[in-house]
Amino acid sequence: MTVEIKRRGMMLVLSSPSGAGKTTLSRRLLENEHNVVMSVSATTRPKRPNEVEGRDYFFVDEKEFQRRVAAGELLEHALVFGHHYGTPKKPVMDALAEGLDVLFDIDWQGTQQLRQQRDDVVSIFVLPPSRAELENRLRARAQDPPEVMARRMAKAGDEISHWAEYDYVIVNDEIARAQAEVGTILAAERLKRTRQPGIPEFVETLMKGE
């Protein structure tokens, strides 16, 4: 017999320097884990080839982004490589209320803002196995012009310096193992007593012999 106990959703953050693998890990987590939904950010960055409005990002202009900031419609926002990124609040709150876990692919700035507002944030920092491998992955990705890639590599050290602000740290030297480690963290965090508000009622029935 399977016992279903009501569970409260959480915010699961994956951060890393560009090229360390957080986007691949996010995609695999969504494909393999039950009750996880992706938080879709709004951005002023131009849309890349193959990106889809509402699936990858909500693409907005600078004026609309600042309106959302002023109206308090974003949970967090940051300026990254000259473009603004932010998390729309309502979809996240709706998902959490349904008991879903919300996955965030954001940087350390956004993570700090989330942690200042919420007590249900679980944060994971993904490290590359080496600087050389990080650069190899960026080159293989072939999404950015050389000058942008150079900026990403130059900023990698600053991003990595924030690793100690996270709950968990994973070295992504092999994607399958890193994926398994993220899954283990998610499973353990879901079982925390504070995330299972239905436990007291269930225990009471056990104590009464019902």
pLDDT for 7 equals: 81
Average pLDDT over residues 65-84: 93
Is the pLDDT at 135 greater than 80, yes or no?
Answer: no
pLDDT for 142 equals: 60
SS3 of residue 195 by DSSP: helix
Give me the chain's average pLDDT, please.
89
Average pLDDT over residues 182-189: 96
Q: Could you tell me the residue ranges of all domains in the chain? A: 11-39+100-208
Place of tokens 């494909």: 31
Contact 95, 6 (CB under 8 A): no
Tokens of 179: 């994926």
Domain 11-39+100-208: CATH class, spelled out: alpha beta
Confidence of residue 161 (pLDDT cuts 50, 70, 90): very high
Crossing angle for the helix pair 146-160 and 131-141, nearest 10 degrees?
A: 140
The dihedral built from the CA positions of residue 46, 48, 54 and 55, taken in this order, carries a sign that is negative
Average pLDDT over residues 125-146: 78
Is the pLDDT at 148 greater than 90, yes or no?
Answer: no
> How many helices and strands in the chain, by DSSP H and E?
8, 9
Average pLDDT over residues 12-28: 90
